[in-house]
């Protein structure tokens, strides 16, 4: 038994494992890069890096073809940490390596944390627009809004991950159940009168009765977005209230129930803040006589709900706005007119870790190679002295 | 001893990995209502027409907004205020009655019916065109509960758009500005900048005072000799313009997607015959001689514009393809409108294409 | 002799490189250089006409000089002058390269039509092996123009397809179309192209202008007017307007100051004539130059150019410093000349391993130094011209990779003095400059940076450091190649060849100052042999890999920080980021393998050679994928070169492993190391 444990431990601390894992990691990154032409950046992240095993669809069957990022990264981390604990004795000579490896650990852990807690979204503003939310680029939500109050909306947001076929969802604030009759991750909508021989619509209320929704395969192209759609049935206390078609391509649909006004809308997931951002002016400079963008910048006004903050900020390339745990970057703009901006909003509490890691890595490597270089130089000098 | 630490570490790491997985949950929150989205402008244009005017004394120009073409603020004694706005929308925005009632609603007046409309509206001609004017006073004190509100409104209908001029605010102040309002309307000119105009003399435009909109010397921008505008059906989705396209649409149907392109070439671009044969070649049809081409095409008139229209059926690599095209020769350039795509899609949209041609305007 | 030869080589090389600066490209009565120094604004950058001429020709025909069928040749400036002022002649020069056979068919030519029939058998034979061109690849505008509408149609179709999905035909036809359009646009940038005597026409216009404007006004007001005159006015306006729309060069400088937005096209300036009735200096200058060039009046040409330069001094004098510098830089062509010197040095250094090691080896080293000075000067000049750190696009990255690699080689050679550094420097310098030369066919290499890349700080840190990482990994790989090839095929590896020691041995009569460190004048008795060449190379590889690991890791991390500052994401799994990551992983793998004792000398060399494959993937392969934030360099033939390179490296690695170590020529049992250190003949210790 002790021998089993010993060989187990020796496996994890061995340098051979490190070399093998490094080689496999290099291969994994290479294959993932090739796969990117098919799947796009997000696709490969989910398939290759944020997984334990990489599954490839061969003739409909998912076949494991390669260890995934979590597996290799995790093993490398274990290998690194255990080797240090088990083998290395603290000494000045090896201090460079210690610091380097420590930096590496911080980097890996930091990236792991980022992958988990980081949240990216965008905020699109026309000049004069004010918004207090940003929208996700990958996740959508079904928002069921109680719009009775003239000033406030009470929103119940259901993430699209929960909208699987035949799901039945219940929530305390809703006086009805939501049953998903059909969910299409990407759908093509057309007016019924333009589609001859269309099958009867699943929808019984709202716009959906006039629309034909055709499911389409997911697209991974960078400049195309998937437009999901779903047929959802609302079942109240006394029975079904009707089936609606909701989609990111449709405007909000309203209905009344027991004196309350409700709205249904399927939209990108929203992240609200307690402050508003208003776009006052968007500037776009080009190089003289060309269309090449020289710089673009957005002058925005930041106002908190409690009135404590009300100031103007200029956001431009390489100069983001950091406020309240979120960072606003000048990402791009809609080229159809020159009076709008698209800001990238990033929430990443672990943002400082890569910087710390870099400092450690750099210091560690300099120390280690510095020691080697000095040793080499003095040996050379001694050699030449003897010649 | 070290193996224990190892196991501990292993456990922590595994926990970390799984703890971080996204767990979708239903959430609820309360937010302030949003402002309604702005009305989108449907038509696609080459250059927008420019408005020139002479602003009366006492009207201080405000920055134009996303919908307002021009905006003025007028102040009177005792803090009284009036606001002058100039807006334009494509088409006729619902018609005279709807717009008048919209304004009436803004000062809490009951809506008119069709029969009463001619009594309230009076028509007048100004240099810029034929205007309809209306003068309405609120019957309740709607400003701060004390003062009445008045709207002096005018609108000018053009083939593809309607211009609205609205002076609204304190009733007495607005009444005092009535002649200034009419002077303003008199001073209006609406035109598109042409190179010949600007190069050969700015005197052809009316006096441009310092508060005018945009100067007409478009020579630096190299504006085209013609401004051609059109209105596309809402079912056609606009595509980003390519390198040579002035307009680009994608027409969907269950038969597949068809492409509508609007391209302009200088001069006669080789002549109508050569271009018709070029189109024929694109759908693998044989070239025809001049007589046969003339027989295959028809001419459509739209005002003083003459389109040569053809309808060809051929094939491409993706199957049976139909091409409906129109060639519009202008004095120093030629416009090509081409709808090409799967047979069913194009045939379904043929009427829409013909209607589309009728909306084409050249300045 | 061997002391003097290296210095002769050094001076000779420098003279060769600088020759471009003072030997004129052609003898002409016309002040071509003065014309070339006239600045214009193109693509957002102010550059001299000399650059416009050279880069346009490089784009159209991969070559700067224009050669006619009857062997007459023109310099780029002469070509530009013909395009601007004598377009009917320029249209007959074969300046458009077409390689794609389908495009050739499009213009009605088959390969048979184009076969060059050499009169003498010698060249016929050479043609079979492609040492001289087999077919005509370059065509004139005149020849191509009849098929223009068809080319345009095909180009429009190709344009609609996404860039990375285009077939070779589509790419070729689109490229040809763009070249033809660029060519036409140059014609519209100076004078009205369809008028042989534009100056005269302008003078006439001035004369009739008042009456003409009257006629137009009258016509507008529907009053009686001179119809012909009015028509003529409108026609002229339309012509000037066409020029302002189609011209691509902003030829007219602003009245005062450095604001780039003040530059205008000739067409716009001409339209102003209607307002001012005056012919401004730029209009007069170019119209006069047309007259002078067409009539062959070199005196008029030269005086006009001189006067225009005075006018420019008064308006854009600040810019002239840089544009004049750029013209001299173009003339010097430091990179092309250095490329030749590097190749020469490589050959001489290899020869130096066989005979006269001292003389040839040091001469080769000095040649390298000369070329290195020239490339450094070239890179610094580019930095000055652009106002940017050294690496801003693929072209400059190639230059910089070479510069780093050669720099490291010089250090290595200084330490080891066994010729390895020189050989490596020659080969790497030549290859990188050759790659850069081919990259220059894409157009002007001093281009403006896009908004997202517009940050001198990050360009100076991340990009430079990462490129140093690339350069050093290539160097390690090349050293690995030397190890394997010399080991398998020659007896060189076990030689204990330390030139410094040999030199000291031969100069035993010269008293050397004792090495200060120990302070003692006496030395201990000579110790056993210094390392062999093989050992030296392995040590070099190790040291360079350490350097490469450090720089590629730091560079990659700096890139992550830049991304984090710019768009909030430290690591985006972009192909280029991934490529850099693979390089870092590979370099650290080599180090770990060595520390674990899993590889010895041969293994190190093989791993280092594979590093070449990894780096070339990261540098070029990722660009060819055409996706992600880094896809800014798309090449076609480059793909095949990349594959060929990768295959060659893999073959060499296979060779090293298939041939057993004791069968390597260097390690065979019968091979005894030559040149054993002569005992007791060493000079007193330094």
- Cβ-Cβ pairs closer than 8 A, B with C, add up to 53
The reply to whether B33 falls in a domain is no
Query: What integer pLDDT is reported at residue B19 of this predicted model?
Result: 45
A153, A251, A290: best mutation site toward chain B, by most B Cβ within 10 Å? A153
| Enclosing domain of residue B50 | 41-191
Residues B276 and B165 in one domain: no
**Contact between residue C378 and residue C329 where contact means Cβ atoms under 8 Å apart:** yes
Question: Quick one: how far is CA A49 from the chain centroid?
Answer: 13
Chains that touch B (3 or more CB pairs under 8 A): A, C
Q: Looking at the predicted structure, is the pLDDT value of residue C495 above 70?
A: yes
Confidence bin at B51 (pLDDT 50/70/90): low
Of B200, B266, B281, the CB nearest to C242: B266
Asked if A151 lies within 8 A of B26 by C-beta distance, the reply is no
Confidence bin at B20 (pLDDT 50/70/90): very low
Contacts of A35 in chain C (CB under 8 A): none
Handedness of CA A40, A44, A50, A56 (dihedral sign): positive
The reply to whether B2 falls in a domain is no
**C185-194 confidence digits (pLDDT tens):** 999 899 888 8
The reply to whether B218 falls in a domain is yes
B28, B43, B222: best mutation site toward chain A, by most A Cβ within 10 Å? B28
Asked if B25 lies within 8 A of A190 by C-beta distance, the reply is no
Query: What integer pLDDT is reported at residue B246 of this predicted model?
Result: 75
Query: What integer pLDDT is reported at residue C160 of this predicted model?
Result: 80
**B89-134 confidence digits (pLDDT tens):** 766 666 788 788 888 877 878 778 777 888 888 888 887 778 888 9
For the segment B50-59, the average pLDDT, to the nearest whole number, is: 70
Of A78, A86, A128, the CB nearest to B10: A78
**Contact between residue A163 and residue A143 where contact means Cβ atoms under 8 Å apart:** no
Asked if A194 lies within 8 A of B240 by C-beta distance, the reply is no
Confidence bin at B45 (pLDDT 50/70/90): very low
The reply to whether B255 falls in a domain is yes
Helix (H) or strand (E) holding B299: strand B297-302
Q: Looking at the predicted structure, is the pLDDT value of residue C159 above 70?
A: yes
Q: Looking at the predicted structure, is the pLDDT value of residue B222 above 70?
A: no
C275, C276, C277: best mutation site toward chain B, by most B Cβ within 10 Å? C275
Question: Quick one: how far is CA C463 from the chain centroid?
Answer: 18
Q: Looking at the predicted structure, is the pLDDT value of residue B243 above 70?
A: no
Nearest CA in chain B to A272: B31
Query: What integer pLDDT is reported at residue A337 of this predicted model?
Result: 77
Confidence bin at B50 (pLDDT 50/70/90): low
Measured distance between the N- and C-terminal CA atoms of chain B, rounded to whole angstroms: 89
Tell me if chain A has a CB within 8 Å of the CB of B28: yes
Of A74, A161, A191, the CB nearest to B13: A74
Confidence bin at B363 (pLDDT 50/70/90): low
Handedness of CA C59, C61, C62, C64 (dihedral sign): negative
Measured distance between the N- and C-terminal CA atoms of chain A, rounded to whole angstroms: 57
Which of helix, strand or coil describes residue C452? helix
Tell me if chain B has a CB within 8 Å of the CB of A257: no
Residues B173 and B253 in one domain: no
Query: What integer pLDDT is reported at residue B211 of this predicted model?
Result: 21
For the segment B218-242, the average pLDDT, to the nearest whole number, is: 55
Asked if A169 lies within 8 A of B26 by C-beta distance, the reply is yes
Please report, for the domain that includes residue B134, its CATH number.
2.60.120.1690
Asked if A320 lies within 8 A of C565 by C-beta distance, the reply is yes
Q: Looking at the predicted structure, is the pLDDT value of residue C417 above 70?
A: yes
Contacts of B274 in chain C (CB under 8 A): 149
B195, B196, B200: best mutation site toward chain C, by most C Cβ within 10 Å? B200
Tell me if chain A has a CB within 8 Å of the CB of B292: no
**Residues 101-120 in A contacting C (C-alpha not used; CB under 8 Å):** 111, 114, 118, 120
For the segment B297-312, the average pLDDT, to the nearest whole number, is: 84
Q: Looking at the predicted structure, is the pLDDT value of residue C298 above 60?
A: yes
Tell me if chain B has a CB within 8 Å of the CB of C153: yes
Average pLDDT taken over every residue of chain C: 83
Top-confidence residue, B303 or C272: C272
Residues B263 and B294 in one domain: yes
**Contact between residue B271 and residue B279 where contact means Cβ atoms under 8 Å apart:** no
Average pLDDT taken over every residue of chain A: 85
Q: Looking at the predicted structure, is the pLDDT value of residue B209 above 60?
A: no
Asked if C156 lies within 8 A of B244 by C-beta distance, the reply is yes
Top-confidence residue, B229 or C537: C537
Confidence bin at C306 (pLDDT 50/70/90): very high
Query: What integer pLDDT is reported at residue B200 of this predicted model?
Result: 54
Strands A340-347 vs B27-32: parallel, antiparallel or unpaired? unpaired
Helix (H) or strand (E) holding C537: helix C533-567
Please report, for the domain that includes residue B313, its CATH number.
3.40.1000.10
How many angstroms separate the CA atoms of A275 and A324, rounded?
10
Long-range contacts of C168-171 (CB under 8 A, 24+ apart): C168/C100, C168/C636, C169/C100, C169/C102, C169/C103, C171/C636
Residues B248 and B170 in one domain: no
Asked if A9 lies within 8 A of B13 by C-beta distance, the reply is no
How many angstroms separate the CA atoms of B201 and B195, rounded?
10
**Contact between residue A13 and residue A79 where contact means Cβ atoms under 8 Å apart:** yes
Burial call A72-86: b when 16+ CB within 10 Å, e when fewer? bbbbbbbbbbbbbee
CA distance C185 to chain A (A): 14
Q: DSSP string spanning C340-405?
A: HHHHHHHHHHHHHTTS-HHHHHHHHHHHHHHHHHHHHHHHHHHHHHHTS-S-SSHHHHHHHHHHHH
Of C260, C568, C686, the CB nearest to A384: C686
Tell me if chain C has a CB within 8 Å of the CB of A223: no
CA distance B190 to chain A (A): 22
Contacts of A154 in chain B (CB under 8 A): 28-30
CA distance B278 to chain A (A): 31
The reply to whether B134 falls in a domain is yes
Residues B172 and B230 in one domain: no
Tell me if chain C has a CB within 8 Å of the CB of B294: no
Residue ranges in chain A whose pLDDT is less than 50: none
What sections of C107-197 are H helices per DSSP?
Answer: 111-114, 121-128, 141-144, 148-160, 168-187
Of A15, A41, A376, the CB nearest to C595: A15
Nearest CA in chain B to A190: B253
Handedness of CA C158, C159, C161, C163 (dihedral sign): positive
Of A15, A25, A387, the CB nearest to C585: A25
Asked if A331 lies within 8 A of C579 by C-beta distance, the reply is no
B191, B220, B251 — which closes off a domain?
B191
Residues B176 and B289 in one domain: no
Give every CB contact of residue A297 below 8 A, 6+ residues apart in sequence.
A282, A283, A314, A315, A316, A317, A330
How many angstroms separate the CA atoms of C198 and B263, rounded?
32
How many angstroms separate the CA atoms of A183 and A190, rounded?
17
Nearest CA in chain B to C273: B199
Residues B161 and B57 in one domain: yes
Top-confidence residue, A379 or B155: B155
Q: Looking at the predicted structure, is the pLDDT value of residue C521 above 70?
A: no
Asked if B31 lies within 8 A of A155 by C-beta distance, the reply is yes
The reply to whether B70 falls in a domain is yes
How many angstroms separate the CA atoms of B264 and C300, rounded?
42
A68, A336, A347, A349: best mutation site toward chain B, by most B Cβ within 10 Å? A336
Query: What integer pLDDT is reported at residue B202 of this predicted model?
Result: 37
Query: What integer pLDDT is reported at residue C366 of this predicted model?
Result: 92
Top-confidence residue, C151 or C624: C151
The reply to whether B318 falls in a domain is yes
Residues B217 and B336 in one domain: yes
**Residues 52-71 in B contacting C (C-alpha not used; CB under 8 Å):** none
**C575-612 confidence digits (pLDDT tens):** 888 999 999 999 999 999 998 899 999 999 999 999 99
Tell me if chain B has a CB within 8 Å of the CB of A64: no
Query: What integer pLDDT is reported at residue A218 of this predicted model?
Result: 83
Tell me if chain B has a CB within 8 Å of the CB of A254: no
Tell me if chain C has a CB within 8 Å of the CB of B318: no
Tell me if chain A has a CB within 8 Å of the CB of B5: yes
**C41-80 confidence digits (pLDDT tens):** 988 888 999 999 999 998 898 888 888 877 788 899 999 9
Of A153, A157, A162, the CB nearest to B33: A153
* Total domains in the fold of chain B: 2
Chains that touch C (3 or more CB pairs under 8 A): A, B
B161, B191, B221 — which closes off a domain?
B191
Nearest CA in chain A to B26: A158
The reply to whether B10 falls in a domain is no
Helix (H) or strand (E) holding C643: helix C637-658
The highest-confidence range among B219-223, B230-234, C177-181, C558-562, by mean pLDDT, is C177-181
Asked if A385 lies within 8 A of C578 by C-beta distance, the reply is no
For the segment C253-265, the average pLDDT, to the nearest whole number, is: 78
Query: What integer pLDDT is reported at residue C70 of this predicted model?
Result: 79
Measured distance between the N- and C-terminal CA atoms of chain C, rounded to whole angstroms: 25
Residues B243 and B172 in one domain: no
Tell me if chain B has a CB within 8 Å of the CB of A16: no
Asked if C241 lies within 8 A of B204 by C-beta distance, the reply is no
Residues B208 and B187 in one domain: no
CA distance B160 to chain A (A): 21
- Cβ-Cβ pairs closer than 8 A, A with C, add up to 177
Asked if C268 lies within 8 A of B282 by C-beta distance, the reply is no
B134, B166, B191 — which closes off a domain?
B191
Confidence bin at C529 (pLDDT 50/70/90): low
**Contact between residue A152 and residue B31 where contact means Cβ atoms under 8 Å apart:** yes
Residues B79 and B148 in one domain: yes
Query: What integer pLDDT is reported at residue C685 of this predicted model?
Result: 43
CA distance B133 to chain C (A): 30
Query: What integer pLDDT is reported at residue C485 of this predicted model?
Result: 92
Query: What integer pLDDT is reported at residue C53 of this predicted model?
Result: 93
For the segment B33-40, the average pLDDT, to the nearest whole number, is: 60
Top-confidence residue, C136 or B183: B183
Residues B160 and B291 in one domain: no
CA distance C465 to chain A (A): 13
């Amino acid at each position: 038994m002790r021998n089993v444990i010993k060989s187990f431990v020796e496996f994890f601390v061995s340098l051979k494992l490190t070399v093998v894992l490094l080689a496999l990691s290099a291969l994994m990154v290479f294959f993932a890069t090739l796969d990117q032409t098919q799947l796009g950046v997000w696709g490969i992240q989910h398939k290759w890096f944020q997984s334990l095993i990489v599954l490839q669809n061969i003739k409909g069957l998912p076949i494991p073809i390669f260890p995934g990022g979590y597996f290799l990264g995790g093993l490398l981390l274990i290998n690194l940490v255990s080797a240090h604990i088990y083998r290395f004795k603290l000494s000045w000579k090896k201090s460079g390596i210690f610091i380097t490896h420590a930096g590496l650990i911080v980097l890996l852990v930091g990236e792991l944390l980022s992958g988990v807690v980081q949240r990216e979204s965008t905020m699109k503003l026309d000049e004069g627009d004010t918004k207090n939310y940003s929208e996700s680029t990958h996740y959508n939500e079904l928002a069921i809004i109680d719009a009775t109050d003239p000033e406030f909306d009470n929103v119940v947001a259901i993430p699209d991950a929960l909208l699987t076929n035949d799901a039945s969802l219940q929530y305390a604030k809703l006086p009805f159940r939501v049953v998903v009759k059909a969910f299409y991750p990407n759908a093509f909508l057309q007016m019924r009168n333009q589609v001859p021989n269309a099958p009867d619509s699943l929808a019984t209320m709202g716009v959906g009765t006039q629309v034909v929704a055709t499911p389409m395969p997911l697209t991974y192209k960078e400049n195309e977005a998937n437009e999901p759609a779903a047929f959802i049935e609302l079942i109240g206390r006394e029975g079904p209230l009707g089936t609606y078609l909701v989609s990111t391509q449709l405007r909000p649909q309203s209905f009344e129930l027991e004196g309350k006004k409700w709205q249904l809308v399927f939209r990108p997931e929203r992240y609200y803040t307690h402050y508003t951002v208003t776009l006052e002016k968007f500037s776009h400079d080009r190089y003289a006589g060309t269309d090449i963008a020289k710089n673009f910048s957005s002058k925005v006004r930041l106002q908190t709900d409690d009135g404590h903050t009300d100031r103007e900020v200029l956001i431009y390339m390489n100069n983001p706005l950091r406020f309240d745990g979120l960072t606003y970057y000048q990402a791009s703009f809609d080229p159809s007119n020159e009076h709008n901006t698209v800001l990238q909003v990033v929430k990443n509490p672990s943002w400082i870790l890569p910087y710390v890691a870099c400092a450690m890595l750099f210091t560690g490597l300099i120390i280690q190679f510095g020691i080697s270089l000095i040793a080499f130089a003095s040996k050379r000098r001694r050699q030449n002295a003897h010649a | 001893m070290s193996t224990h630490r190892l196991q501990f570490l292993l456990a922590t790491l595994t926990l970390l990995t799984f703890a971080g997985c996204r767990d979708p949950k239903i959430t609820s929150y309360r937010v302030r209502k949003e402002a309604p989205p702005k009305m989108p402008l449907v038509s696609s244009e080459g250059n927008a027409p420019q408005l020139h005017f002479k602003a009366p004394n006492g009207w201080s120009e405000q920055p134009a907004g996303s919908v307002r073409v021009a905006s003025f603020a007028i102040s009177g004694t005792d803090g009284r205020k009036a606001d002058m706005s100039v807006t334009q929308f494509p088409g006729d925005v619902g018609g005279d009655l709807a717009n008048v009632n919209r304004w009436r609603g803004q000062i809490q007046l009951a809506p008119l019916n069709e029969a009463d409309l001619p009594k309230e509206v009076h028509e007048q001609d100004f240099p810029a065109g034929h205007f309809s004017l209306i003068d309405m006073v609120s019957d309740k004190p709607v400003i701060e509960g004390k003062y009445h509100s008045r709207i002096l409104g005018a609108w000018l209908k053009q083939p593809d758009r309607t211009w609205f001029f609205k002076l609204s605010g304190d009733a007495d102040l607005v009444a005092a500005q009535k002649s200034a309002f009419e002077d303003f309307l008199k001073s209006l000119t609406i035109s598109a900048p042409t190179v010949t105009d600007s190069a050969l003399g700015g005197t052809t435009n009316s006096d441009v005072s310092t508060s005018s909109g945009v100067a007409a010397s478009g020579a630096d921008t190299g504006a085209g000799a013609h401004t051609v505008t059109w209105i596309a059906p809402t079912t056609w989705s606009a595509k980003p313009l390519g390198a040579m396209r002035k307009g680009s649409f994608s027409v969907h149907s269950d038969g597949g997607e068809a492409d509508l392109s609007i391209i302009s070439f200088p001069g006669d671009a080789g002549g109508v015959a050569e271009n018709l044969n070029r189109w024929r070649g694109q759908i693998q049809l044989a070239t025809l001689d001049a007589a046969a081409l003339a027989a295959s095409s028809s001419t459509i008139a739209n005002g003083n514009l003459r389109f040569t229209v053809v309808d060809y059926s051929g094939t491409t690599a993706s199957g049976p393809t139909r091409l409906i095209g129109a060639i519009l020769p202008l004095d120093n350039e030629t416009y090509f409108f081409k709808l090409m795509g799967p047979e069913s899609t194009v045939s379904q949209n043929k009427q829409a294409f013909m209607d589309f041609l009728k909306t084409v305007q050249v300045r | 002799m061997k002391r003097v030869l290296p210095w002769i080589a050094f001076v000779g090389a420098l003279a060769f490189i600088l020759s471009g600066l003072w030997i004129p490209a052609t003898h002409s009565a016309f002040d071509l250089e003065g014309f070339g120094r006239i600045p214009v604004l193109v693509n957002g950058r102010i550059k001299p006409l000399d650059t416009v001429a050279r880069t346009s020709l490089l784009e159209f025909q991969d070559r700067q000089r224009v050669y006619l069928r009857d062997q007459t040749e023109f310099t780029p400036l002469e070509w530009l002058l013909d395009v601007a002022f004598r377009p009917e002649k320029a249209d007959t020069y074969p300046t458009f390269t077409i390689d794609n056979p389908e495009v050739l068919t499009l213009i009605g030519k088959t390969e048979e039509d184009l076969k060059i029939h050499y009169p003498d058998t010698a060249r016929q034979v050479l043609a079979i092996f492609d040492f001289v061109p087999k077919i005509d690849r370059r065509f004139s505008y005149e020849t191509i123009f009849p098929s223009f509408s068809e080319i345009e149609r095909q180009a429009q179709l190709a344009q609609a397809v996404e860039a990375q999905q285009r077939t070779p035909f589509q790419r070729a036809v689109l490229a040809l179309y763009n070249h033809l359009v660029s060519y036409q646009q140059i014609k519209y940038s100076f004078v009205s192209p369809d008028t042989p005597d534009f100056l005269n026409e302008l003078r006439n216009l001035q004369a009739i202008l008042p009456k003409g404007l009257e006629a137009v006004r009258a016509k507008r007001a529907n009053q009686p007017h001179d119809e012909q005159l009015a028509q003529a006015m409108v026609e002229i306006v339309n012509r000037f307007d066409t020029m302002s729309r189609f011209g691509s060069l902003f030829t007219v400088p602003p009245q005062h100051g450095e604001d780039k937005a003040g530059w205008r096209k000739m067409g716009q300036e001409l339209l102003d004539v209607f307002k001012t009735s005056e012919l401004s200096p730029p209009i007069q200058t170019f119209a006069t130059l047309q007259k002078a060039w067409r009539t062959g009046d070199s005196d008029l040409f030269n005086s006009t150019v001189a006067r225009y330069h005075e006018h420019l001094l008064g308006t854009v004098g600040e810019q002239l410093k840089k544009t004049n510098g750029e013209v001299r830089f173009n003339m010097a062509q430091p990179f092309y000349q250095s490329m030749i010197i590097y190749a020469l040095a490589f050959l001489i250094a290899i020869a130096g391993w066989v005979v006269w090691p001292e003389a040839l080896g040091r001469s080769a080293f000095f040649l390298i130094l000369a070329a290195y000075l020239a490339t450094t000067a070239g890179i610094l000049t580019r930095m000055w011209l652009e106002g940017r750190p050294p690496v801003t696009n693929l072209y400059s990255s190639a230059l910089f990779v070479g510069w780093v690699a050669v720099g490291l080689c010089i250090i290595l050679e200084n330490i080891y003095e066994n010729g390895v550094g020189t050989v490596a420097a020659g080969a790497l310098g030549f290859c990188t400059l050759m790659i850069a030369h081919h990259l220059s066919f894409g157009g002007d290499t001093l281009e403006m940076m896009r908004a997202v890349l517009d940050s001198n700080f990050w360009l100076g840190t991340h990009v430079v450091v990462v490129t140093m990482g690339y350069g050093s990994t290539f160097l390690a790989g090349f050293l690995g190649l030397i190890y394997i090839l010399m080991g398998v095929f020659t007896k060189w590896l076990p030689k204990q060849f330390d030139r410094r020691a040999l030199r000291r041995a031969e100069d035993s009569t010269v008293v050397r100052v004792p090495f200060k460190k120990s302070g003692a004048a006496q030395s201990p008795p000579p110790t056993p042999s210094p390392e062999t060449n093989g050992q030296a190379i392995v040590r070099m590889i190790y040291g360079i890999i350490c350097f490469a690991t450090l720089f590629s890791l730091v560079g990659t991390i700096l890139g992550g920080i830049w991304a984090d500052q710019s768009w909030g994401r430290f690591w985006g799994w972009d192909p280029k980021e991934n490529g850099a990551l693979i390089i870092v992983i590979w370099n650290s793998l080599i180090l770990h393998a060595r520390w674990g004792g899993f590889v010895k000398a041969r293994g190190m060399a093989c791993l280092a050679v594979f590093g070449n494959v990894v780096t070339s993937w990261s540098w070029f392969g990722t660009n060819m994928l055409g996706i992600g934030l880094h896809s800014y360099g798309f090449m076609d033939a480059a793909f095949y070169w990349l594959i060929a390179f990768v295959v060659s490296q893999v073959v060499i690695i296979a060779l090293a492993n298939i041939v057993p170590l004791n069968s390597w020529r260097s390690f065979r049992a019968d091979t005894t190391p030559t040149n054993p250190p002569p005992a007791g003949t060493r000079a007193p210790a330094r």
